[in-house]
Amino acid sequence: MPQVTIGAAYIRVSTDDQTELSPDAQLRVILERSKSDGVTIPPEFIFIEKKGISGRKAENRPEFQRMIAIAKSQKPSPFRRLYLWKFSRFARNQEESAFYKGILRKKCSVEVVSVSEPIMEGMFGRLIEMIIEWFDEYYSVNLSGEVLRGMKEKALRQGYQLRPCLGYNAAGGGKPYTINESEYAVAERIFREYYNGLDLTGVARKLNGLGLRTKTGNRFDRRSVERILKNRFYLGEVIWNGITFTGAHETRPSITSIFEAVQNRLESEYRPLGRREVSANAHWLSGLLRCSVCGGNLGYNRSNNPKRRPDFFQCWKYAKGVHPESCAITARRAEAAVIESLRQVISTGQVEYEYIPRREETAHDEESDLRDALARLSMKETRVRDAYENGIDTLEEYRENRRRLNAERDELTQALDLLHKAAAPPENIPDSHEVVRRIQTVYDLLISPDVDFAIKGNALRSVVKYIEFDRRNDRISMRYYIS
């Protein structure tokens, strides 16, 4: 009884080829060819990628990777011939094509056949196959440039191709976008709330409180609100890659009638990025205050009119419209609370603190070098494993590489352990009396009117790790430390 030859079929549909056969058509042609060759293709050896999977990178094609894994699962491979409709279905990257075909042919004894590109046997046939692969790669690389040129031409002809903004849906075929009524109502609300007096943060906070979301389903913040308010698509203009034209999509007076007034307010109230002057030492508490709800820093805000509204600290997440609740405290009250906490420690002599050993600069550099070496070692281990799984290295070579890398890892780990032991806390850790003494020094600096913010801030950081403000319970907690 003659032995049955088992084959396999790999099918991928390109989204950029207008002459492409459907998956069913490709499979039909392949099965007809395999039958005439006397090769049987079982259903479990038919590998079909989902529509739209790119052929540019083999690692992004799950069915391709499964096919290679099955071919390598035993020697010889469970199938002896792989049928393709075109060589370009296998790969459009000549380097990857040669690599994986080498695995199939040399390691797995699998013949790769294109049913629509018959190739003669021998050296000249292989040369023609390489020429086909080079052309496919050129086509793939050139395609991106052609697509960009096509998009530019489409824009010049006033075709729609940008991502729809909040309130619109794409119609397809370059046609004008249509209004999404539920989303457009949100866009109208954004323009109306800002026009009526709310600032960007207030608008974002109000939208989030109502459970409304952006086009992508995220919570609103001041930046997303600003982008919508500045988007001239709502005014009827279409802008793509520097090309601007008056669109034919529907606009409504609810936005167009107040659009320019909104732009004038934005321009007057919000300076362009880079023009705002920020002091590195805005306040000696800057960077130390934290929000008890979200852990975010409380940013310092200097008032333009201290008589009406004093300087204050506010959770930055709330300021951006993300945090639902305000966590603000006036600068004067925060200063008084911190100084009072220091005074109580000095008067009672009681303080809870954390010991943080000082690290020498050289020791820190050495630890960084060791951790970088361990990270590079992990990358080497990944490459060694990939080389084995892809059939480049034998099992013996893989074992030897693993043994060498494990020995190197043990050596680096031991060096890191020794470094940590050398940096272990000394037996003479400063006691609470020393902590109180240092706090006294900091206290004296903070209450002195002749000391600038920079010195006060550095002094406070030498004994305080962070300060947590709990607005609900109106409480400030100090986390002391010593090194």
Provide the CB-side half-sphere exposure for 61 (13 A, CA): 27
Q: What is the pLDDT of residue 31?
A: 93
Segment among 28-32, 35-39, 122-126, 223-227 with least mean pLDDT: 122-126
8 Å CB contact between 284 and 467 = no
Give pLDDT, residue 182. Answer: 92
Share of the chain above pLDDT 90, in %: 14
C-alpha atoms less than 13 angstroms from C-alpha of 283 in its C-beta half-sphere: 19
Partners of 452 in the β-ladder: none
Using CB atoms within 10 Å of the CB of residue 117, give its burial: 0 to 12 exposed, 13 to 18 middle, 19+ buried. middle
pLDDT of residue 58: 64
In this structure, of 58-72, 187-201, 313-327, the range with the lowest mean pLDDT score is: 313-327
- The pLDDT mean for the chain works out to 77
- If you average pLDDT over residues 83-110, what whole number do you get? 77
Q: What is the distance of C-alpha 412 from the center of its chain?
A: 31
pLDDT category at 346 given cuts 50, 70, 90 is very high
Q: How far apart are the first and last CA of the chain?
A: 85
Burial of 462 (0-12, 13-18, 19+ CB in 10 A): middle
- Res 170: pLDDT: 82
Catalytic residue annotation:
14
Lowest-confidence range among 4-8, 441-445, 447-451?
A: 447-451
Which pLDDT band holds residue 138 (cuts at 50, 70, 90)? Answer: very low
By the 8 A CB rule, do 296 and 316 touch?
A: yes
For the cut 70, the answer to whether the pLDDT of residue 68 exceeds it is yes
pLDDT of residue 147: 43
Write b or e for each residue in 388-425: b if 16 or more Cβ atoms lie within 10 A of its Cβ, otherwise e: beebbbeeeebeebeeeeeeebeebeeebeeeeeeeee
Closest CA to 231 of 265, 213, 255, 201: 255
pLDDT tens profile 377-418: 777 777 777 666 666 667 787 788 788 888 888 888 887 777
As a CATH number, domain 5-143 is: 3.40.50.1390
Residue 197: how many CB atoms within 10 A of its CB?
A: 8
- Can you tell me the mean pLDDT for 344-359? 81
Determine contact, residues 232/251, Cβ cutoff 8 Å.
no
Strand 168-169 versus strand 298-301 pairing type: unpaired
List, in sequence order, the alpha helices (H) in 211-285.
222-230, 253-256, 259-269
Mean pLDDT to the nearest integer, 428-442: 85
Q: Kindly state the helix (H) or strand (E) to which residue 299 belongs, with its residue range.
A: strand 298-301
Query: How sure is the predictor about 304, in pLDDT bands with cuts at 50, 70 and 90?
Result: confident
Q: Which CATH entry fits the domain spanning 168-269: 3.90.1150.10, 1.10.3720.10, 3.40.50.2300, 3.90.1750.20?
A: 3.90.1750.20
